[in-house]
Amino acid sequence: MTSNRPTPRRSSLAGTSPVAPAPVETAPPTATAPPAPAVEATAPEAAPAGARPARRGSGGNKVSFYQPAEDAARMRAALLNTQAQTGVRGLSDFIARACLAEVERLEREYNAGQAWDPIGPGQIPTGRPMGE
């Protein structure tokens, strides 16, 4: 018994990976354009105090932490009820700004307003302190 079902169409996404970039197809040149000016790579400058932190997708690092549920709910309420007045775009922006404000306060109070040397991920001891 044969079925009258049509042959399934192949998706244009079949065989592609959401992680690996799609291969770039090169088209034959139609006209010669002048070469693009060379851009010299420079080290990124430190952001001035009060500058907006990096947003998701713009090179920021993912950071996670534990927080009591009541505090998280209070934080979300503060964000939602003040977004129009503060211009904070989302929760990551809100947290980054709040964290940076506290870091700047600690630097003023304990390090003469100077930034401490950066510490990389995995350098802060984790777990319960000895003797607890």
Q: Assess if residue 82 is contained within a domain.
A: no
Q: Assess if residue 32 is contained within a domain.
A: no
The residue with greater pLDDT, 34 or 87, is: 87
Range of 96's domain?
89-116
54-105 pLDDT, tens digit per residue, is 444 556 788 888 999 999 999 999 999 999 999 999 999 999 999 999 999 9
**Confidence check: pLDDT of 50 > 90:** no
Q: Assess if residue 62 is contained within a domain.
A: no
The C-alpha angle with vertex 103 and arms to 66 and 62, in degrees rounded to 5, equals 45
pTM summary value: 0.51
Q: Assess if residue 103 is contained within a domain.
A: yes
Alpha-helical runs (H) found in the chain = 69-86, 91-110
Specify the number of domains making up the chain.
1
